[in-house]
Structure 1
Amino acid sequence: MTKGQLEAKISEILSKFEVEYMGRGPKTIRTYILSDMIIIRLIGFLSPSEKKLAESSQGVELLKKVRTSLFEGGRDYLEKLLADVIDAAVISTHSDISTKTGEKVIVITVDRNLEELYTVK
């Protein structure tokens, strides 16, 4: 598998996770492998009601807490889905959302340099 194929497969996994666990998938998802990091950018993942909630500062705070809690609860499931595809152990997973842009960024660190492992030589 090439680096590009692995990035596409990880995007598919994240899309599946978002639909199955979070209830809704993003409009766009893009994965980047950089050394021992997997960076995933999801665009358009907020529901219309979440966008409405994000119009106030209290709503933004509530939305971020709920989304963070849901993501943390599904972390083991996501890491299991990834373990079936990547040839590395997950060390840590970080996530943040922007209620202004409707984006979510996930950064996953693993125990080896995936870029070297999957780059065609």
Structure 2
Amino acid sequence: MRKSKGATEAEISKALTQWEKNYLGVGAVAVKSDILRNMIIVQLDHVLTPAEYSLCKDKDGMLSVKKNRNGLVESGIEQIKEIIFTITGEEVVSFHTDISTNTGERLMVFKFAKNLEAQFS
């Protein structure tokens, strides 16, 4: 039986939360995944620690936190791509991520060759 779009999105959110906890040692407070055309957009809320928020009060600290956090995620990209492939059955063509040092929110965008959303219509 094929999973619904909502069930697939929830599975992605749960898997990425678990990956964060296992790989980074800390996880987001809330995660929301959306399948949109040939992309999966993941919003992870409150991923920064209190110490990182404190560092972000000046430009050098903010740039340092962004660089370090993005580097940590990029270092685990093969694991993340495998998680997404296991859930969707599709290979990730490209991956983009950034973090807001203001809100502590991370966005991840996974792009695919196929329209994933069409599979659920």
Place the TM-score, normalised by the shorter chain, in its bin: over 0.9
Using the alignment, how far apart are the partners of 2:115 and 2:89 within structure 1? 10
The residue identity in structure 1 corresponding to 2:16 is L
The percentage of aligned residue pairs carrying the same residue is 35
Aligned length: 119
- Which residue of structure 1 aligns with residue 26 of structure 2? 24
- Which residue of structure 2 aligns with residue 33 of structure 1? 35
The counterpart of 1:75, out of the listed 74, 77, 100, is: 77
Q: Which runs of 5+ in 1 are unaligned?
A: none
SS in 1 for 2:74: helix
Q: Which runs of 5+ in 2 are unaligned?
A: none
Query: In the TM superposition, what is the alpha-carbon distance from 1:118 to its structure 2 partner?
Result: 2.2
The TM-score normalised by the length of structure 1 is 0.94
SS in 2 for 1:68: helix
The counterpart of 1:118, out of the listed 113, 116, 120, is: 120
- Which residue of structure 1 aligns with residue 86 of structure 2? 84
The residue identity in structure 2 corresponding to 1:50 is E
The TM-score normalised by the length of structure 2 is 0.94
Using the alignment, how far apart are the partners of 1:17 and 1:94 within structure 2? 17
| Superposition CA RMSD, Å | 0.9
Using the alignment, how far apart are the partners of 1:101 and 1:90 within structure 2? 27
The residue identity in structure 2 corresponding to 1:42 is L
Query: In the TM superposition, what is the alpha-carbon distance from 1:111 to its structure 2 partner?
Result: 2.0
Using the alignment, how far apart are the partners of 1:37 and 1:81 within structure 2? 15
Asked if 1:62 corresponds to 2:68, the answer is: no
Provide, for residues 20-71 of structure 1, a one-character-per-residue CA deviation record: whole Å limited to 9, x for no partner: 1111111111001101100000111111111111111110010011011111
